[in-house]
Structure 1
Amino acid sequence: MSLHLVPRGLQYIEAVAEHGSIQAASRATGIAASAIDRQIKLLEDRLGVQLFDRMTTGMTLSPVGEMFVVLARRWKADEKRIWSDVKQMQGVDLGHIRLVTMDSLVNGVLPRFLRHVAEVYPKVRIDVEIATPDEAISALDAGEADMALVFNLRAQRGIHVIWSAELPLHCVTAPDHPLAGHREISLAKVRDHAIAVQSPALSIRRMLEARHGWMFSENLPPVVSNSLQLLKQLVTSGSHIALTSELDTAQELLDGRLIAIPVTGNNIVPQNVALAISSRRALPRIATAVADLLAADTQKILEEVRAPGARSREHANS
Structure 2
Amino acid sequence: MARAFLVPASLRYLDQVARSGSIQKAAKELNVAASAIDRQILLLEQELNVELFERLPRGMRPTSAGDALVTLARRWRMDERRVAADIKQLQGVDQGHVRLVAMDSHANGFLPHFIERLAAEQPRISLEVEIASPDDALSALLSGSADITAIFNLMPRRDVHVHWTTELPFGCVVAPQHPLAKGATVSLQEVVAHPIALQSKALMIRRYLDARYGWLFSDPQKALVTNSLQLVKQLARGGRYVAFTSELDAAPELAAGTLKFLPVRDKGAEPQSVSIAIDARKPISRIGRIVASVLTDEIQLALKNARTSALPDPLPVPEPPEA
The question of a shared fold, defined as TM-score above 0.5 by the shorter chain, is answered with yes
Alignment correspondent of 1:316: none
Deviation, structure 1 residue 301: 2.4
Asked if the contact 2:140–2:146 (Cα under 8 Å) also holds between the matched residues in 1, the reply is yes
Deviation, structure 1 residue 220: 5.9
Q: Write the deviation string for residues 141-170 of structure 1: whole angstroms up to 9, x where unpaired.
A: 111111111110000121000111111112
Paired residues, what number? 312
Structure 1 residues 53, 296: closer, same or farther in 2, change over 3 A? same
Asked if the contact 1:53–1:59 (Cα under 8 Å) also holds between the matched residues in 2, the reply is yes
| 225-234 vs 203-212, which moves further | 225-234
Amino acid at match of 1:165: T
Alignment correspondent of 1:47: 48
Q: Write the deviation string for residues 110-169 of structure 1: whole angstroms up to 9, x where unpaired.
A: 122222212321221121111111111111111111111111000012100011111111
Q: Percent identity?
A: 49
Deviation, structure 1 residue 83: 1.5
Alignment correspondent of 1:14: 15
| 262-271 vs 158-167, which moves further | 262-271
Q: Distance in 2 between matches of 1:29 and 1:202?
A: 38
* Structure 1 residues without counterparts, runs of 5 or longer: 314-318
Residue 312 of structure 1 aligns to a residue whose secondary structure is: coil
Across the aligned residues of Structure 1 and Structure 2, the Cα RMSD in angstroms comes to: 1.8
2:283 equivalent to 1:282: yes
Q: Distance in 2 between matches of 1:8 and 1:236?
A: 54
Q: How does 1:287-302 map to 2 (within 5 A)?
A: 287-302=288-303
Deviation, structure 1 residue 221: 5.6
2:15 equivalent to 1:5: no
Q: Write the deviation string for residues 2-45 of structure 1: whole angstroms up to 9, x where unpaired.
A: 53222111111112111212222222222222221111111112
Runs of 4+ in 1 over 3 A off after TM superposition: none
2:233 equivalent to 1:232: yes
Residue 92 of structure 1 aligns to a residue whose secondary structure is: coil
Amino acid at match of 1:90: Q
Q: Distance in 2 between matches of 1:239 and 1:17?
A: 48
Amino acid at match of 1:268: A
Q: How does 1:1-318 map to 2 (within 5 A)?
A: 2-219=3-220, 222-307=223-308, 310-312=310-312
* Structure 2 residues without counterparts, runs of 5 or longer: 314-323
Q: Distance in 2 between matches of 1:151 and 1:77?
A: 24
Q: Distance in 2 between matches of 1:215 and 1:3?
A: 59
Deviation, structure 1 residue 177: 2.0
Residue 99 of structure 2 aligns to a residue whose secondary structure is: strand
| 76-85 vs 2-11, which moves further | 2-11
- Scaled by the length of structure 1, what TM-score is found? 0.92
Which entry has the higher C-alpha Rg, 1 or 2? 2
Q: Distance in 2 between matches of 1:105 and 1:220?
A: 30
